[in-house]
């Protein structure tokens, strides 16, 4: 296989962590961090809160399809630049929104960034790094979500109830991260592999079935936590929104543990790491669902979820690069698309369900879904890239 000019793994990982951090940890998941104050400002029910959260998933769904198709034609830098611009513009609009409708539009634009910034890195890693370095760099980039949340939480705490200011600060950070990535990424499309016709049967095949179905189910279950965890603590746990943001800060710090997922997969195997991470994430959801008033349970839930979720995502990214080796960006975009479908379904449907049966049942139901998804663990090695 022919590769592009050698890239520096640390520079590539750092740039990827930066843009994935602002796109996922802020533009996409920042709404959950600020949800209690947004709910209060606009007097929103849980169902309407879920509909607002779904805005970012709708845009993510659309752009995760186009990113893989366009990266080969326009080059990774162009696609990442578009994603960064969406993050900045969308979060500025959210910060200035006078009504829920305008906020919805801002979240829609901001959410588009997540689908655009990640897939191009899959191609760059596959074409410019040695085989043994790819799982570690892919895992590090996928952990950017945690880094983003870890930075976003202190910002949100510092501004207090001024959720509009938080969005504007997030937008500024997105601008910085985007410029950094553009300095690292190649500007032209990467060559070196024969073009593959991106037909449905290329995406949906015997090797990809477990990966795609699992991604959808994980999207549904995990979206409950990202969207409603802070609101759950505030509403049922009797804590302030500032304390709840400390909780999400713990999630972000623990998420950084996903950086070592590549090494864990090489040592213990993709299936074992995938199953253990899903069980841990299920435990995190159950803890928050059953004991939101316990500080210890909330802290344990935050740490478990942060570490487990990012390990699960890292395994999916590494696994995707194995299954879709001929077009890594398109394959990763397919995984993001399916996960986005699940994440789009989760907040509005389960938010409405919470209005009827309560969040305890919803969180425990999501935990059960994750436990069932362990049956879809990979049956092949995922590290032979």
CATH number of the domain where residue 132 is located: 1.20.1250.20
Highest mean pLDDT among 49-63, 75-89, 110-124: 75-89
Q: Which residue has the higher pLDDT, 17 or 193?
A: 17
How far is Cα 96 from Cα 125, in angstroms, rounded to an integer? Answer: 37
Classify residue 278 by burial, with Cβ atoms within 10 Å: 0-12, 13-18, 19+.
buried
- Domain-located, residue 2: no
Residue 162: strand, helix, or coil = coil
* 382 assigned to some structural domain: no
**pLDDT category of residue 385 using cuts at 50, 70 and 90:** very low
Which pLDDT band, with edges at 50, 70 and 90, does 200 fall under? low
pLDDT at 5: 44
Q: pLDDT above 90 covers what percent of the chain?
A: 33
Q: pTM of the entire structure?
A: 0.79
Residue 190's contacts (CB-CB under 8 Å, 6 or more residues apart) are 4, 72, 75, 76, 123, 124, 127, 128
In tens, the pLDDT along 12-39 reads 999 999 999 999 889 987 887 888 888 8
The confidence score (pLDDT) of residue 60 equals 79
What pLDDT does 4 receive?
A: 43
Local confidence band at 125 (pLDDT 50, 70, 90 cut-offs): confident
**Quick check: 201 pLDDT over 70?**
no
Q: Is residue 3 part of a domain?
A: no
Q: Is residue 178 part of a domain?
A: yes
Residue 157: domain span = 9-191+199-376
Residue 192 reports pLDDT greater than 50: no
Supply the pLDDT for residue 82. Answer: 94
Q: Do the domain assignments include residue 352?
A: yes
What's the confidence (pLDDT) of residue 195?
47
How many domains does the chain contain in total?
Answer: 1
Q: Domain for residue 74, yes or no?
A: yes
Q: Where are the alpha helices (DSSP H) in the chain?
A: 9-20, 30-42, 46-74, 76-96, 100-117, 119-128, 134-142, 144-159, 163-184, 200-203, 209-237, 241-255, 261-268, 270-290, 295-323, 328-357, 359-373
- Given a cut of 70, whether residue 241 has pLDDT beyond it is no
Q: Is the per-residue pLDDT at 6 higher than 50?
A: no
pLDDT tens for 295-345 read 888 889 999 999 999 899 889 888 888 888 777 777 888 888 888 788 778
Rounded Cα distance between 264 and 286, Å, is 25
Q: What is the pLDDT of residue 49?
A: 79
The burial class, CB within 10 Å (0-12 / 13-18 / 19+), for 201 is exposed
Q: Which residue has the higher pLDDT, 381 or 17?
A: 17
Nearby residues of 73 by Cβ (< 8 Å), 6 or more positions away: 189
| 255 or 57, which is more confident | 255
Sign of CA dihedral 300, 343, 240, 161: positive
The answer as to whether 304 is a domain residue is: yes
359: burial class by Cβ within 10 Å (0-12, 13-18, 19+)? buried
Any domain includes 368: yes
- Answer with the residue of higher pLDDT: 93 or 343: 93
Residue 2: is its pLDDT beyond 60?
no
Q: How far apart are CA 276 and CA 2, in angstroms?
A: 36
Q: What are the b/e assignments for 42-66, b being 16+ CB within 10 Å?
A: eebebbbbbbbbbbbbbbbbbbbbb
Q: What is the mean pLDDT of residues 154-159?
A: 88
Q: Which two tokens stand for residue 53?
A: 């959260």
- Residues comprising the chain, all counted: 385
Mean residue pLDDT across the chain? 84
Confidence bin at 273 (pLDDT 50/70/90): very high
Token pair in block for residue 362: 């919803």
Q: How many CB atoms lie within 10 A of CB 188?
A: 11
Q: What does the pLDDT average to over 251-278? A: 86
| Joined tokens for residue 331 | 């394959």
pLDDT surpassing 90 at residue 110: yes
């Amino acid at each position: 296989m022919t590769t592009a000019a050698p890239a520096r793994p640390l520079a590539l990982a750092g740039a990827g962590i930066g843009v994935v951090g602002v796109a996922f940890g802020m533009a996409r998941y920042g709404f959950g961090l600020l949800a209690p104050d947004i709910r209060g400002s606009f007097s929103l029910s849980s169902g309407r809160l879920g509909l607002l959260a779904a805005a970012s998933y709708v845009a993510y769904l659309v752009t995760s399809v186009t990113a893989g198709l366009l990266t080969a034609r326009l080059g990774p830098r162009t696609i990442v630049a578009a994603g960064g611009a969406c993050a900045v513009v969308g979060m500025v609009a959210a910060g200035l929104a006078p009504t829920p409708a305008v906020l919805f539009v801002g979240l829609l634009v901001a959410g588009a960034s997540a689908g655009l910034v990640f897939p191009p890195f899959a191609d760059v890693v596959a074409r410019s790094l040695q085989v043994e370095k790819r799982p570690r760099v892919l895992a590090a980039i996928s952990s950017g979500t945690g880094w983003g949340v870890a930075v976003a939480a202190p910002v949100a705490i510092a501004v207090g109830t001024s959720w509009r200011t938080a969005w504007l600060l997030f937008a500024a950070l997105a601008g910085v991260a985007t410029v950094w990535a553009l300095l690292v990424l190649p500007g032209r499309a990467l060559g070196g592999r024969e073009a593959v016709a991106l037909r449905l049967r290329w995406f949906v095949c015997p090797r990809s079935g477990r990966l795609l179905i699992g991604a959808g189910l994980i999207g549904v279950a995990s979206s409950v936590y990202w969207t409603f965890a802070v609101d759950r603590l505030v509403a049922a746990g009797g804590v302030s929104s500032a304390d709840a943001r400390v909780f999400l800060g713990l999630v972000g710090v623990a998420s950084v543990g996903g950086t070592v997922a590549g090494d864990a997969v090489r040592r213990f195997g993709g299936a074992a790491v995938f199953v253990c991470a899903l069980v841990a994430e299920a435990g995190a959801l159950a803890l928050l669902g059953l004991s939101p008033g316990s500080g210890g349970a909330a802290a344990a839930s935050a740490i478990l979820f942060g570490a487990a979720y990012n390990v699960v995502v890292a395994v999916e990214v590494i696994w995707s690069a194995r299954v879709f080796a001929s077009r890594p960006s398109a394959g990763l975009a397919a995984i993001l698309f399916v996960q986005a479908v699940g994440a789009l379904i989760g907040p509005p449907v389960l938010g409405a369900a919470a209005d009827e049966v309560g969040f305890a049942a919803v969180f425990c139901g999501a935990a059960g879904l994750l436990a069932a998804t362990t049956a879809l663990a990979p049956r092949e090695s995922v590290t032979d890239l």
